[in-house]
Structures are given as structure tokens and as C-alpha cells.
Structure 1
Amino acid sequence: MGSLSSPALLVLFLASAAVIWYAGIKLSDTTDVLSERLHLGGALGGLILLAIATNLPEIAITAGAAVAGQLGVAVGNILGGIAVQTVVLVVLDAAGVRPRAPLTRLAASLVLVLEGALVIAVLGVVVMGTQLSGGLAFARLSPAAVVVAAFWVIGLLLLNRAGKGLPWREGGDAPGAQPEPRGHSKGKKEKAATGKGVSTGRAALVFTAAAVATLVAGVVIERSGEEFFARQGLSGILFGATVLATATSLPEISTGLTSTKLGDYQLAISDIFGGNAFLPVLFLPATVISGKPVLPDAHHTDIYLTALGIILTTVYITGLIFRPQRQYLRMGVDSIAVLVLYAIGIAGLTTIGG
């Protein structure tokens, strides 16, 4: 990439972003079709299949960094993306909600509160893991990476159970929330695909092609973007936490807008929380690939961004519980708070050394 001119790098970066956006839409549609036809279940389909699919750029970047032994890049890529993916909910609140009501008011559900709590729990383990000795490993595994993965699996099992009903009024859904059940958009997409004659095999083929395109574009966008923005004077830390994290979050934006357009507000938030809970699980394959614990290579900026992700998630959990009624600039007060806190957090990030 270093031999390319700046205009060529910018074209590569923008082209890769466009591929990630378009492929993200295809991934969302085919994932929902496959989830319905293979009877994966609403919670498992949203939290496993779509979480993996929409995080393919991060998976590609993390795997490449682990192979190259650039463990700091792997950690920064995973933790830097969580705060930005949470800010995606601001975009969905402002642009995706058709009724004049905040996103969290329409999507309020105890299951979503539990999903947000899982994100916080996983990130708490991550912070603890950064403080462990780098030599603490066995059979190419580190305790922190294994515990993160275990927390995620246990969380999925609990969420799957919660998705079948909670011993609360309305089954855990707030009165006056979205009229149709969570995940109804998946059924609509599957019926539309059936009406167009899309077979399961074709859906799987499109899913695979979109996944490959996303993986390749994820690597290209990281390398071209880092080189281009470094030439513009943007530090690697700021690039990773802002520009790259935003670019690799395009699948979440496209899938979220699709869900909100269909009135499936709970699924839109679930996809974001599910993806954020899944990202730290990538520390496990990164550790296996590199052969050494990854988390001890975390920088102060990585821990800072992890804390920022926890704070932003907490704000939205609060919004889901208190269900704000008024909108300002088409956003709920929780989204405005998240936007302000993220801006302050990024400003603070510039003052921190590696």
C-alpha cells in the first residue's frame, strides 16, 4: 500500500466501504432467510449468525494482525469498534425510527437490558484480562480469552431462554412498545424471498459471496485507510478508534436501518448489543493463532475505549428502562447523551499516550 498514491489509496478505501455496505445488506437479508428456514431461533440467529456475519471486517483484520504478530492492532481493532458500534444506535434513532418516538421507547424490553448487561460483563472480563501476565497461557490458550468466550456462551444460553418468555408482565416487553414481536422482520424477509423464488441454496450462495467480499474489503479498508490517513497526519490510534471503526461498522448500520424500516426496533438494538458482546470473543482465536495471550498487549488507549464502551452501553440500558418520551433533533435524550459522551471520549483519547 505504501507505493500507491494518496488518491489511489482514497479510492481503495471508499470502494471497500461501498463493498462492505452493500455486502452488509445482502448478509442481513440472507442471514434472516437462512435463520428462518433452518429454524435457528430468534435469539440464536440474531446473536450468533448475524453477529459473526456483520463483524466479518473485524474478524479479517484481527486474524491478519494475529498472523503478523501485531497483537496491539488486534486488541485495538476489537475494543475500538465497540464504542462506535454503540453509536450506530444514534444513527438508527435519528434516521430509522418512523413514529415520532425515541428508539429505546419503542424497543423497550427486559431481554435487551440483559443483552446490554452481557456486553458490560464481557468487557469487564476484558479489562481484568489486560492486567494478567503475558506468560500465563496453556495449550495456546489464555485464561482471559477462555473466560470471555465462556461468558458469551453462557449469556447466549440465558438470552435464548429469556427470549422464550420472562416471568414479568408482557413477557418482559414494555407496554406500548413495538406492536409486532421481535424478529418479525425475519419472517417478512423470508416470505419475500420465497415469493421471488429464492431457494435456500441460492440464499446460502449469496451469503457466502457477501461474506467473502466483506472479508476482503475489511482487510483492504484497514490497510489503505491506515496509510492514507497517516499521510494526512491522523494518528494510528485515532484512525482505528474513529475512521476505521466507523467504516467496519457499516454492516451494522445497513442491517439496523433495514430492521427499523420494517418496524423491528428490538432486533435492531439486539444486533448491535449482540455484535458488541461477540467482538471480545475474537481474542480466543487471536490467541490461538498468535500462540500467546493477546490482552496483555492492550494499550492504555484500549482500556480507555473499553471503559467508554461500557459507559455508552449503560446509557442505552438506562434508556430501555426509563423509556424517554420526547425527541430532540429526532433523537431520544439517551442517544443525545451517547453522542455527547462519545465526542468527549474521543477528545480525551487524544491526550492519552499508548
Structure 2
Amino acid sequence: MDLSALSLPVLLAIFIVAAVAIWLAGIKLSDTTDILSSRLGLGEALGGAIILAVVTNLPEIAITVSAALKGDLGIAIGNILGGIAIQTVVLVILDAFGLGKSGTLSFKAASIPLILEALSVVTILAVVVLGHQLPASLIYFHIPPASLLIVIIWMVSLWLVNKANKDLPWKEQGQAPDSQKEAKGHAKDKKDQQAKAKSTGKVTMLFLLCALVTLVAGVALEESGDAIAKEIHMGGVVFGATVLALATSLPEISTGLTSVKMGDYKMAMSDIFGGNAFLPVLFLIAALLSGKAPLPQAQNTDIYLTSLAILLTVIYICGMIFRPRKLFLNMGADSLLVLIIYLLGVGGLLVIAH
């Protein structure tokens, strides 16, 4: 669809309506995913890590597919890598507005499996930087080696995290003392109990409907966002990494706030790290559809965002190790540092993008 002929107010209206649709559909997607994973016994690895990572990132999937089919991967690359940075900042929102003054998110959620999840994000992003250095001609059957390696690392990390959650040779399975009292993922069972009057068939239909709404809204976001960026003379990379990335992160915000409000702090952090580890997997989809290696096409701004995402993730790894208790502006010291560095990072992005 070509929206370039529309006026700026109309484009903004489309963008806002699409963002609201993604927010509302994202809430239902999270709820129905948790209910189905609980009823069908899918387990945390499949139901929690894979399915939820896919459904909460449906807007990014729609944007990547749309951009790849058009052969213009610039905004998709910026959205994926910028999305990882801004989804990490979602943890700041959960810490400040989800917990309030009851404590800090990293103190309540800290565990070795969560640290392992965060390390998988750092590892995958390191491969993104490596893949950027490879020649664009290094691609076989529409499969670039770096994009394939990212998928392999993601799958291995899922196995390691699943194993760590079940059989970790540490005291209390690597769970920090005085963290959340109920087991990680207990919010899923509570949602299932609250929806016990609804049949599995109805829940499945609602899940599919919300997934469709999210996909359509994701395409509308990408198309209207691209047109808005041109109208206001804002670089596609900067727009994709900030405004568009924030809009497509709405499902993560809604799911995370729900988990935090239900006292499942570990799942809230796990969903963010799991989604961040999944996003670079979309580079393989982009390569298969476009026939081009995405990572060598990444701009200096994209690699800058990748480095920023690594830095923000490392801060939260340190936060889960040291578990700060003291609140600053209603959040932990790690969240405050992440917020400051992200804002400074966006300022740096604006400088190098011009």
C-alpha cells in the first residue's frame, strides 16, 4: 500500500490507530498465549519463550516481511536493532510504574537462568556486529552464514535456559534469596483459572484474531511511519529506531505490566530478554525473502544501536548480580542508569545520523 500521497495529519492518525490496535491486541495475545500454553502443557521453553516471543514481536515480523518484499531493508534493520534497545528500556517502565515503591525489579526477579537469558542477547548481538563485517556476496541459497548462526545460537540458548530452569546444580536452582515467593510463570496459571469459563476453542480463535490484527496493524505502522519520516525529513533509521520501535514495543509493555502486577517479576524480565534474543532471528527471514544478506547492509547507526543494546543489557546483568534495593525516582539504580544511557544514546544517534 502506498501512503505517500496522504497528508501528514492523516498519516499520524493511521499511525496512532495502528499503535492503539497493537496495544489492545497485544494484551489479549499475551493472555491467550499464557492460557493456551497452560492448557496444552506446552512448557516454558515452547509456550513461554518461543510462542510469546513470536506473538509479542508480530509487529516487527510484519515490518520485516513488508520491507524484505519491497527490497528495502533499511527501516527493518533499524527497527529490529533499535527495538532491542528500546525493549530493554521497557524494563525501566516496569520497574518505575509496575512495582512502585515495593522494591526494585532486578532485586525481586534476579536468578541465574535470567542472567543466562540476558547473556544470550549479548552473544547474539555480538554475532550481529561480526556479520556486519562480512561481504554482502557471502550468501548461499538466500542464507547468509551470520544470520544462520544467529538462529542456531538462539535455539541453543533456549535449550540452555530451559535446562537451567529445571536442573541447575546451584543452591535453590540458582534463584536469589528473598526474590518473588511464587515460582516463575505462576501468572499463566492464574490467567487460566480466571478464564476457565472460556473453551479452548474460543481462546484459540481470539488468539488468531488478535494475531491477525497485530500483523495488519504492524504493516500499517511500517507504511505510515515510513511516510511520516519522509514528511518530517527524519531519517528512516532514526525514526525506525525510536518512534517506530517504541510503537512496536507496546505488546511487551502491556505483557510486562500484567506480569509485574500479578507478582511474576521473573517472567516479566524473561519476556523482554526472550523477545530481544528472538528479534535478530528475523534477519534470516529477511534474507530468505529478499535474497540479500541484511547485516552487511546495516548502517553505522544500526551498529551503534546494537552496541547500545549490549551496554543496556550488561547493566541489567550487573543489576541482577548486585540486586540494588535503594530506589531512585521510583526505580532501581540499574534502571536509572539504563534510562540515562539510553537518552544519551539517542542523542548520539541524532548526531551521527546527520
| TM-score of the pair, normalised by structure 2 | 0.97
Deviation at 1:8, TM superposition (A): 1.2
Partner of 2:205: 205
Partner of 2:50: 48
Partner of 1:323: 323
Partner of 1:108: 110
Amino acid at match of 2:349: L
- Aligned pairs for 1:301-320 (under 5 A) are 301-320=301-320
Amino acid at match of 1:111: P
Instruction: Provide the C-alpha distance between the structure 2 equivalents of 1:342 and 1:316, rounded to a whole number of angstroms.
Output: 13
Deviation at 1:161, TM superposition (A): 0.7
For residues 19-42 of structure 1, give each alpha carbon's deviation from its aligned partner in whole angstroms, at most 9, with x where no partner exists: 000000000000000111111112
Is the deviation greater in 96-105 or in 181-190? 96-105
Deviation at 1:292, TM superposition (A): 2.1
For residues 137-178 of structure 1, give each alpha carbon's deviation from its aligned partner in whole angstroms, at most 9, with x where no partner exists: 112111001100000000001111111131111111100000
Partner of 1:167: 169
Instruction: Provide the C-alpha distance between the structure 2 equivalents of 1:143 and 1:179, rounded to a whole number of angstroms.
Output: 43
Deviation at 1:232, TM superposition (A): 3.0
Q: Secondary structure of 2:352's match?
A: coil
Partner of 2:141: 139
CA contact (8 A) 1:165 1:172 kept: no
Amino acid at match of 1:309: A
For residues 187-217 of structure 1, give each alpha carbon's deviation from its aligned partner in whole angstroms, at most 9, with x where no partner exists: 00011111xx211111111111101100111
Unpaired segments ≥5 residues, structure 1? none
Deviation at 1:71, TM superposition (A): 2.2
**Does 2:185 match 1:186?**
no
Partner of 1:128: 130
CA contact (8 A) 1:88 1:252 kept: yes
Amino acid at match of 1:237: V
Amino acid at match of 1:88: V
- Aligned pairs for 1:51-70 (under 5 A) are 51-70=53-72
**Does 2:79 match 1:77?**
yes
Q: Secondary structure of 2:167's match?
A: coil
**Does 2:20 match 1:18?**
yes
Q: Secondary structure of 2:81's match?
A: helix
CA contact (8 A) 2:101 2:327 kept: no
Partner of 2:230: 230
Instruction: Provide the C-alpha distance between the structure 2 equivalents of 1:236 and 1:299, rounded to a whole number of angstroms.
Output: 11
* Matched residues, number: 352
Unpaired segments ≥5 residues, structure 2? none
Instruction: Provide the C-alpha distance between the structure 2 equivalents of 1:5 and 1:232, rounded to a whole number of angstroms.
Output: 11
For residues 268-305 of structure 1, give each alpha carbon's deviation from its aligned partner in whole angstroms, at most 9, with x where no partner exists: 00000000000000111111111121111110000000
Q: Secondary structure of 2:71's match?
A: coil
Deviation at 1:98, TM superposition (A): 4.9
Deviation at 1:223, TM superposition (A): 1.7
Partner of 1:242: 242
Is the deviation greater in 106-115 or in 95-104? 95-104
Q: Secondary structure of 2:237's match?
A: helix
Instruction: Provide the C-alpha distance between the structure 1 equivalents of 2:110 and 2:126, rounded to a whole number of angstroms.
Output: 24
Deviation at 1:72, TM superposition (A): 2.1
Q: Secondary structure of 1:350's match?
A: helix
Instruction: Provide the C-alpha distance between the structure 2 equivalents of 1:353 and 1:28, rounded to a whole number of angstroms.
Output: 35
Instruction: Provide the C-alpha distance between the structure 2 equivalents of 1:293 and 1:10, rounded to a whole number of angstroms.
Output: 32
Identity across matched positions, percent: 55
CA contact (8 A) 2:100 2:330 kept: no
Instruction: Provide the C-alpha distance between the structure 1 equivalents of 2:299 and 2:234, rounded to a whole number of angstroms.
Output: 18
Instruction: Provide the C-alpha distance between the structure 2 equivalents of 1:17 and 1:138, rounded to a whole number of angstroms.
Output: 37
Instruction: Provide the C-alpha distance between the structure 1 equivalents of 2:78 and 2:236, rounded to a whole number of angstroms.
Output: 10
Amino acid at match of 1:105: F
Amino acid at match of 2:265: Y
For residues 289-330 of structure 1, give each alpha carbon's deviation from its aligned partner in whole angstroms, at most 9, with x where no partner exists: 111211111100000000000000000011011000100111
| TM-score of the pair, normalised by structure 1 | 0.97
CA contact (8 A) 1:51 1:278 kept: yes
CA RMSD of aligned residues (A): 1.2
Deviation at 1:3, TM superposition (A): 1.7
Deviation at 1:230, TM superposition (A): 3.4
Instruction: Provide the C-alpha distance between the structure 2 equivalents of 1:287 and 1:36, rounded to a whole number of angstroms.
Output: 34
**Does 2:20 match 1:29?**
no
Amino acid at match of 2:87: Q
